[in-house]
Structure 1
Amino acid sequence: MVEEMKALMERAGAVEVRKVLHFGSLNNVMMSVFGRSYEFGEGCENDGEAHELEELVSEGYELLGIFNWSDHFPLLGLLDLQGVRKRCKKLVAKVNVFVGKIIEEHRVKRVVGADHESGDFVDVLLDLEKENRLSDSDMIAVLWEMIFRGTDTVAILLEWILARMVLHPDIQAKAQSEIDTVVGTGNRSVSDSDLPTFPTSMP
């Protein structure tokens, strides 16, 4: 994400931080859940699966936040005047196909003897014992919930942190100083192994 922001600044002189964080968070969740990485944003329109995924997530968030008269007047739900129910059914069908295809790909890899120990959450669900094993519909629901709930929550939190640091240059300077002390001033990025050496609190 840092490199992408740098490239956007050099190319356009401005960065839409929320969009970069959204795509980065979505990609991170996809790595954990499905064990695959996607390219989002400008210049990646040819990646059909990534484009479809982004459309599904965006549609879900839009439906979640839309003002629906049926929520306040239940009788209107029968008429579906705003088409919310129709859009929800259409989204569910698309999600079932998208996620179901990835689950099936994991199953095929196991059958043909390919290395399936990628450590993603699909493998965890497929490895459940018979008495705890989920149906395909339940697996799709769990996996989609992780993707849907785990994307913008992280992105919004990171955006809020960045905004607060912009408003408080002293905190930003202290954070930069700590990073320079632990990581150095070279091109190396912060890694998980560096975390124990950072101060545990910041006044």
Structure 2
Amino acid sequence: MTTKTLAAGLSAAVFALALAPGAQAQQAPAAPQVSHGAAIAGVCVMSLDNAIGGSTVGQYVQTRLQQIATQVEAELKGEETAITNEAQAIETGRASLSQDAFDKRRADLQVRVNAFQRKATLRERELAVTQQKAIARVGQEMEPLIRQVYQQRQCAMLINRDALLLSNPQMDVTAAVVTALNAKITQFAFDRERLDQQAVGAQTR
């Protein structure tokens, strides 16, 4: 049977979702030294990715998402192990079972496998939504601070540095935004989104 391979693949996929490089904002690798032209007056640049990833709250969110992903992996691993053990028990006892009994146990196991697949898919979606909401919360906290820094630095234009190959660091306001964000918030409580509960709630309305 391919139950173990299937279950393990689903568990790994869910766990990898929250730990993938694109799941949370990452610090950019150090760039080689280059000579820049003069800073352009009124033009500011900022890296949204680095502002989130370099902030205390952003690092907290990443750690919390990893904790939640580990919890999901443990939950799925337990069910995967039970399904695998049952599959092995069915195969081991096949000789002592009638065809009807064997078919019944395999059919029951398939029901469990299907339910496991649905749960793994649901957990994957829940992790994705949890990540999106957590990052959105950081963005909401950061938005007024970006405007504040924009005005303090007398910027006439603010460009996303993540879309630029190179820019003069004198025009970069990322560090100022991170400092302001750290002073405003360092963490907030959140848990895995429960999409199955939301669906039940919607049906009862």
TM-score, length basis structure 1: 0.28
Task: Using CA pairs under 8 Å that are at least 6 residues apart, name the structure with larger relative contact order, 1 or 2.
Answer: 2
TM-score, length basis structure 2: 0.28
Larger Rg: 2
